[in-house]
Structure 1
Amino acid sequence: MDILDTHAYDRRQRRNMSCALLFSLSPFILSTALYFYLWSPDSPASITTAGVKSAPTVLLAAAVLSWNGGQSVLGVAGGLLFSAVGDWCLVWPELFLHGMGAFGVAHLLYSLTFLSGHYAAYSSSSSLWIRCLYLILFMVGGGFYIYIYPFLQKAPDSDLLIPAVGVYIVLIVLMGSLAIRTRHTATLLGSLSFMVSDLSLALQVFKATAPMEHGNAITMVTYYLAQLLIAVGDVKSVENKDDFSKWKRS
């Protein structure tokens, strides 16, 4: 097989993989559409509501597991499952801290994944713009915490919320910073979208802004998009590692 045949074969393989990946993501896409179809501002907190809300993330975790295997339970798939727990908890306001804790674990698992071997080919450089992005993310996180701090003080459980929100911001900013390190576009955009979603949610939950007519839609669209991009980025990173290994052996 000459080099042209090899390139044509690789293109067919990538095209077939993209089709297979899209097919495996179809349950997530359909369940997300179902959530937006059923959701309304008057939706009561119930097991059904929690199930519909968390189902897309569980199905996305199943898709990642089917592609990357059981080891991803300690990586992106595990982060998705903890995110589903967070989705479930946030349906009930009194479980907000539990939900935030679950999402904190998810960010920690994502961060560890972004440091793992199958992202090694995309390790960070010492270039100035990368360092500037790190600095910008931490400044945004710190600035947001300073902005929201007075509103946290007014919350009934402020003694717990103030340190918990601070730790959570550190975790999500760390996750975003490590996503920059991977140099994967989908992973980076997913992490940034996650930060936008959480910022939107925090502004609404802690009443730091005027009520937004489409606040929930903004939060959930950016949230589901974030999870999708992080999952796709993880699957693609494994594919790219395999391609790189084949190239080294050739």
Structure 2
Amino acid sequence: MDILETDAYDRRQRRNTSCALFFSLLPFFLSTALYFYLWTPDIPSSITNAGVKSAPALLLAAAVLSWNGGQSVLGVVGGLVFSAVGDFCLVWPELFLHGMGAFAVAHLLYSFTFLSSRYTAYSSSSWTRFLYLILFLFGGAFYIYLYPFLQKAPNSDLLVPGVGVYILLIVVMGTLAIRTGRTSTLLGSLIFMVSDLSLALQVFKVTAPMEHGHLVVMVTYYLAQLLIAVGDVRAVESKDDFAKWKRS
């Protein structure tokens, strides 16, 4: 009977936690909806536009900080803040390199987080090693495919090595997400790669302008950040639950 009561209590606790987490994410959802409501294809670059675009990432960082405290500042919270800086910069095409640099720092912080003790490493298998290989081969193939277009772009002397380093960082981040064995973290990282791939194809004029290209980039981007943030909150919760179980 005690076991059944404990199990029921745990289910209630998880349900209450999920509801509380949802409400803490409401500002993120509302700011994301506001961004899509206000965005139009001919919207001019402005401080206001940049602020609206970067607000969801900052509000997501605030939500994670409220749940995890300072232990995520040099992790997912920091990554979200740098992502917001990247969002702000990318509103102006001439600040593309600055935005890419900010997102590169975000991927580094995410990678360090996925290596931290609160993410229990998933036991490596032939299947996971195969996924690692696929990600690195895909990243390398995409860079080779993109290379001729990078050479034609302005600032190609900076873009050619810069994009190569950026692709390496996001592939490493995706690989470490696989290592965590957490579904939301893994999906968030992979969807982030899809978002960046879509952006690169459009920015470097690899494909013809797509009617809903911007929406594809931003929907996948915000979804990716949400999943990574939720994964980090869940990782800390799991660690705390395990610590309580050991002390009991």
TM-score w.r.t. structure 2 length? 0.98
Paired residues for 1:171-186 under 5 Å = 171-186=169-184
Match of 1:41 in 2: 41
Identity of aligned residues (%): 81
1:206-234 deviation digits (Å, cap 9, x = unpaired): 00111111000000000000000000000
Choose the corresponding residue for 2:187, options 186, 189, 193. 189
Partner of 1:211: 209
1:20 is aligned with what amino acid?
Answer: A
Q: Secondary structure at the match of 1:204?
A: helix
Structure 2 runs not aligned, ≥5 long: none
RMSD across aligned C-alpha pairs, in angstroms? Answer: 0.9
Q: CA deviation digits over 1:78-128, x for unaligned, max 9?
A: 0000000000000000000000000000000000000001102xx132310
> Deviation string for 1:107-155 (max 9, x for gaps)?
00000000001102xx132310000000000011001000000000001
> Does structure 1 residue 111 correspond to structure 2 residue 116?
no
Alignment of 1:1-250 (within 5 A): 2-120=2-120, 123-250=121-248
Unaligned runs of 5+ in 1: none
1:166-200 CA-partner distances (Å, limit 9, x unpaired): 00000000000000000000000000000000000
Query: Shift of the alpha carbon at 1:246?
Result: 2.4
Q: Determine the C-alpha separation between the residues in 2 that align with 1:18 and 1:104.
A: 31
8 Å contact 2:35–2:53 — kept in the other structure? Answer: yes
- In structure 1, C-alpha distance between the alignment counterparts of 2:26 and 2:122, rounded to whole Å: 33
Say if 2:124 and 2:179, in contact at 8 Å, map to a contact too. Answer: no
Counterpart Cα distance in 2 of 1:138 and 1:79: 22
Q: Distance in 2 between matches of 1:176 and 1:197?
A: 13
Number of residue pairs matched? 248
SS at match of 1:66: helix
Alignment partners' CA distance in 2, 1:129 and 1:203: 30
